[in-house]
Structure 1
């Protein structure tokens, strides 16, 4: 995990850009769709059968089932599918020169979930900023040891599981982390090594990019002028990975640049469909950089996926980013990370878990007037009769950024946790309630003024607050 920090900005100035829905990575999904379709065309004739088989054998397989454990979310909508897509940020091989020497393990530079509903009439891609500050669960490190649960950037999960250099462990830890924080059951995964982009770009005789400002980065080995220019594979690889020294230095900015690059790559690939040599070079690089679970390991299952996406109207293919804001809004000294915005993040995950369509417009409307965790003033009352429960919950809430103003005992024990609040604090109560599924949340004239009150019941599980 990189320890570098971006330039300090006020939370209000940053949250607007980070908290909004973005159309990200559409080019990646469509590029794979076009590419796989081309593979099938190549293999349709007898002369192309060996090419088809060659490309099919390029795709690596990694079984993660024995590394995930038994405590996993259920698929609440049989027939729907969630695919975790990881862009590998390893420093091995062709990647070695693009970044600092402090990274010695695989990293997930890109992390998203593709949700395909049971009716196949719409789809959603949810992107997770790599700077998301989350709890990483205990993971198999591949050396016979388990990592300890701890807070970190979400992309560290890939590095922890991949400590031994195996994609299976890296993917498994990422899956466990995403499942723990979203409640979504991950059915398949695809890991794409960014080094594959280099060969794809070179096979297409370069890709045109149009940076708005000059880019000079020792880490990314870049010295690019502003304006449109055609770049080769080596420059392209640095361009899609560079972060610091470009724009605001954020991961969100890099996401937009990667999406623009992939759109340009997709257009160029379509132009080259009539050139067998160029097309074969693109597909060789693309398939060699791909690792999937056994069920997805092959041209046929990937083509089936591409075919399903192809049939979905573009206006019903939603590209979303988990609602988020700079963590410095809750912890002023943290200039490097983001936290997810609740209850909006929960609303996205709940909708997809229940196979309900979530559109860009819906999410954009929901993230207006963000409420930070630190803006929620909470008093915690113990309704369990077990000494110390209010203090334990208060500690967890403070660690999550909430402003806990006091603890105490409830007038009587309760069977279930409950939240009460005075009129005017509906949004603050909703932020807190989203972290306690099942807890009743009620406006009350008797609620403490200016506070959201949480009465802790025996149903509340501390581990769910991580």
Structure 2
């Protein structure tokens, strides 16, 4: 039986393992340790139209499912198999860094159709919490869901369980944390005194699992604490004697591989390639971000991703854009941008336009890319797909009765498009991409909105002194 439970700590391990994994070869332990990993086949060909992969960058879907069996039964009971933590780890060797984007488990999203498996019932397309995809269709369904929601090409997935997380921390000799106040949470088995201290595996697990003893008790607050812990764990691995001690390195990575599951495409050679490329990663270039969000309109106890901010973030990740925030400013004498003429406001705002994107070009992944770009411009993308009928010669926006203004707003946002009425359509306009497709006018500045700046793995100001 695969063990797949996480506390959020694997995100740190996913990054640090890529930074230090190449050292294993020198110790003759690489293949020995790799043999401990459980693997699962993922049929990505079944997804259909997928986002385009950017050469050099690697995107890993980090999953922790809330299944409490085996050694993890001590942490309570839970039905089904849902992610307790879900992260896109974007590794960018060319930019000497990584970005880790948390997708909160309370997110209400559009879930795609997924077939039943030997152990899962499958699902029809519907709106639900993001973790339902895994519960209904397994890792493959969750992978498909994340790609369709974000427009980010996922290369691999990994997962780790509670017991393995504790072993990782203990193999490091603990992780140094500043605890601002006394913390006690019986549900998470947390009991810590305020002050600077080194947390062992059990204490670390309780700290990152705790939800109600700290902050406002929300999952978003817990994510912030997990990110803080991840940074501390990364700093411990890269600044101590872990890299120079064969025994400590072997114990650390042994704890990792004994407790994770990956896709079968994450081979030894792939791990080595990533590790070598990422070994010079700087802590200031390892960024933690939570997808911009707010209360869901239909349920304030759930989360909705904020647009266009979320789509701008995902587009930057999908394109491996520079996420430094454009902080460099030229000093004096910089040329001013030529002011562009103001455009009149559209009759219908993009936020009121529901769009389905259909890829008629034959370019794999284009519909997902366009969907992400339109989301970044504020449009409500309700689906993507391939054409059922003949593809027009020109990129065309089709609209139903009374929706011409909606179609015109969309067409005005595109470099090239014509609009045509189709009375069979309802309130959703349909964008069919043809051979003349030339992009979205405002797409891809590479800059992140303020709500998606996040934090880095550099040591923060220490509240404990």
Specify the TM-score bucket, using the shorter chain as the normaliser. Answer: 0.5 to 0.7
1:305 aligns with 2:270: no
Residues 115, 324 of structure 1: CA spacing in aligned structure 2 closer, same or farther, 3 A cutoff? same
Give CA-to-partner distance per residue, 1:98-126, whole Å, 9 cap, x none: 35x3x123332222223346956665332
Deviation at 1:344, TM superposition (A): 1.5
Deviation at 1:340, TM superposition (A): 0.8
Q: TM-score, normalised by structure 1?
A: 0.64
How much is the aligned-residue C-alpha RMSD, in angstroms? 3.9
Residue 33 of structure 1 corresponds to 18
Residues 215, 72 of structure 1: CA spacing in aligned structure 2 closer, same or farther, 3 A cutoff? farther
Runs (5+) with no aligned partner, structure 2: 1-8, 328-348, 355-379, 383-399, 415-425, 434-465
Residues 130, 215 of structure 1: CA spacing in aligned structure 2 closer, same or farther, 3 A cutoff? same
Residues 56, 154 of structure 1: CA spacing in aligned structure 2 closer, same or farther, 3 A cutoff? same
Residue 115 of structure 1 corresponds to 90
> Partners in 2 of 1:97 and 1:209 — Cα distance?
25
Q: How does 1:65-464 map to 2 (within 5 A)?
A: 65=43, 69-75=46-52, 77-78=54-55, 80-99=57-76, 101=77, 103-116=78-91, 123-143=98-118, 145-161=121-137, 170-269=138-237, 270-273=239-242, 275-298=245-268, 300-312=269-281, 315-327=284-296, 330-331=297-298, 334-360=299-325, 410=402, 414=404, 417-419=407-409, 438-440=410-412, 457=429, 459=431
Residues 184, 377 of structure 1: CA spacing in aligned structure 2 closer, same or farther, 3 A cutoff? closer
Q: How many residues align?
A: 350
Give CA-to-partner distance per residue, 1:425-462, whole Å, 9 cap, x none: xxxxxxxxxxxxx54359xxxxxxxxxxx98545499x
Residues 238, 96 of structure 1: CA spacing in aligned structure 2 closer, same or farther, 3 A cutoff? farther
Q: TM-score, normalised by structure 2?
A: 0.64
Task: Give the structure with the higher percent helix.
Answer: 1
Runs of 4+ in 1 over 6 A off after TM superposition: 376-381
Q: Does the Cα contact within 8 Å between 1:128 and 1:321 map onto a contact in 2?
A: yes
> Partners in 1 of 2:73 and 2:183 — Cα distance?
20
Runs (5+) with no aligned partner, structure 1: 1-23, 44-50, 162-169, 363-375, 382-396, 400-407, 420-437, 443-453, 462-466
> Partners in 1 of 2:97 and 2:30 — Cα distance?
30
> Partners in 2 of 1:78 and 1:230 — Cα distance?
40
Residues 37, 256 of structure 1: CA spacing in aligned structure 2 closer, same or farther, 3 A cutoff? farther
> Partners in 1 of 2:203 and 2:256 — Cα distance?
17
